[in-house]
């Protein structure tokens, strides 16, 4: 069902009543008739995109997530706080 919304003086619109709370970024497409299509979007770094293009790595990550018992303890230590 369509809803009427109004732009403020700076041409902004509040979308609080629309969409899903987890959608915080959108791509906007303007059609020739002036209608706007908002498509939820996810932004990632170039490095994240490169990792996701590696099917062996993606498969390994999915296997590890499916079976947490395969996890190995990290040898990394958290930095200790230094008191002044």
Tokens of 25: 């970024």
pLDDT tens, residue by residue, 10-38: 999 998 888 899 999 999 999 999 999 99
Q: Where are the domains of the chain?
A: 43-69
Number of Cα atoms under 13 Å in the Cβ half of residue 52: 6
> In the structure, what pLDDT confidence band is assigned to residue 83 with cuts at 50, 70 and 90?
low
Residue 17, pLDDT score: 86
Contact 45, 53 (CB under 8 A): no
Task: Report which of residues 72 and 24 the model is more confident about.
Answer: 24
Distance in angstroms (rounded) separating the CA atoms of residues 43 and 6? 28
Mean pLDDT to the nearest integer, 28-55: 94
pTM to 2 decimal places:
0.56
Q: Please give the span between the terminal C-alpha atoms of the chain, in angstroms, as a whole number.
A: 61
> 38, exposed or middle or buried, with CB in 10 Å at 0-12, 13-18, 19+?
middle
Task: Report which of residues 51 and 70 the model is more confident about.
Answer: 51
Residue 55, pLDDT score: 94
Distance in angstroms (rounded) separating the CA atoms of residues 82 and 21? 39
């Amino acid at each position: 069902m369509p809803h009427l919304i109004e732009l403020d003086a700076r041409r902004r619109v509040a979308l609080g009543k629309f969409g899903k709370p987890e959608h915080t970024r959108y791509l906007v497409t303007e059609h020739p008739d002036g209608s706007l299509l908002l498509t939820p979007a996810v932004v990632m770094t170039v490095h994240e995109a490169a990792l996701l293009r590696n099917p062996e790595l993606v498969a390994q990550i999915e296997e590890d997530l499916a079976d947490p018992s395969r996890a190995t303890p990290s040898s990394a230590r958290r930095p200790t706080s230094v008191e002044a």
